[in-house]
Amino acid sequence: MTDTYTHGHGAAVLANHATRTATDSLAVVLPYLTAGSRVLDVGCGPGSITLDLAAMIAGLGGAASQVTGVENTPEPLREARAAATARGIAARFVPGDAYRLPFRAGEFDVVVAHQVLQHLSDPVAALSEMLRVTAAGGVIAVRDADYAGMFFSPAPPGLREWQARYREIAHRNGAEPDAARHLVGWALAAGCTPEQLTFSCSTWVYTRSVGDAAWLAGSWIRRTGEEHYRAQLAALPDAGPADDAVHRITEGWMEWAEDPAATFVMPHGELLIHVP
């Protein structure tokens, strides 16, 4: 199965994703790591979270090589391998598809997927694969954002358009940008029981003094202007020329970031699946 990754894999997207850490993105699973944990990061992107997990396993007395990142696209896989070399962390990075993970049943004790299910046309099938490769007694941790639940102040027209257009593009791609609210339902559809599931929420917050509002705005301005995303904007029936849409969205982000009261909250759903 081939899905369209709404963000694309341009330099701006990879740079943004490479800033993510295990602590700010997957804190929910960290208490489950042990020296013996065999860990799989599904949709690892440029590998920053994967490498953090590998460093943590090594710090507990295990080996970084117990941690594997799997990614279906060459560009982020190359970035992940380069980052592993630069950081001197011997995690493994392999090509693979979330729908057909190239691993044996029960091969891992901890399986994670950060901001992955929201981009898939069949998240239930991906969860079923994660369940297949997780050993008895293991845990799966998935974390996804909810774009409809994001809120911000001020709310200039261009920023409201960014939110609406992103959700429209994702839905046209067959994906679910508001994935956080669906995680429990998807897990149940994959065959889990309610007793296996622990759901929680966490947020990323950006202001002038916390989380760096200017960085967030700059990142999204660059990402919106990349060729892959511009093409998707241009394909929307009522968005008009891509240059105009990108200009409006850019102006919205800039107006928001320049306001001393700028506040942006990104809610995330976190689901732990305890495998019996």
Examine the pLDDT at 258 and tell me if it is beyond 80: yes
Residue 105 lies in a domain: yes
Residue 237 lies in a domain: no
What average pLDDT does the segment 258-269 reach?
A: 98
What average pLDDT does the segment 174-202 reach?
A: 98
Per-residue model confidence (pLDDT) at position 2: 77
Determine the structural domain holding residue 62 and report its residue range.
11-150+174-205+265-274
The proportion of the chain whose per-residue pLDDT surpasses 90, expressed as a percent, equals 98
For residues 47 and 86, the answer to whether their CB atoms sit within 8 Å is no
What average pLDDT does the segment 168-188 reach?
A: 98
Residue 101 lies in a domain: yes
Examine the pLDDT at 181 and tell me if it is beyond 60: yes
CA distance between the termini of the chain: 29
| Rounded CA separation 223/168 (Å) | 16
Residue 232 lies in a domain: no
Q: How many domains does the chain have?
A: 1
The proportion of the chain whose per-residue pLDDT surpasses 70, expressed as a percent, equals 100
User: Could you report the per-residue pLDDT of 108-124, keeping only the tens digit for each?
Assistant: 999 999 999 999 999 99
Q: How high does pLDDT run on average in the chain?
A: 97
Residue in 3, 67, 5, 34 with CA at minimum distance from that of residue 229: 5
| Rounded CA separation 138/274 (Å) | 6
User: Could you report the per-residue pLDDT of 234-257, keeping only the tens digit for each?
Assistant: 999 998 999 999 999 999 999 999
What average pLDDT does the segment 78-96 reach?
A: 98
Examine the pLDDT at 199 and tell me if it is beyond 70: yes
Residue 157 lies in a domain: no
Residue 165 lies in a domain: no
Q: What is the pTM of this model?
A: 0.96
Per-residue model confidence (pLDDT) at position 30: 98
Per-residue model confidence (pLDDT) at position 174: 97
Residue 113 lies in a domain: yes
What average pLDDT does the segment 55-71 reach?
A: 98
Per-residue model confidence (pLDDT) at position 1: 57
Distance of CA 181 to CAs 43, 178, 184, Å? 20, 6, 8
CATH code where residue 23 lies: 3.40.50.150
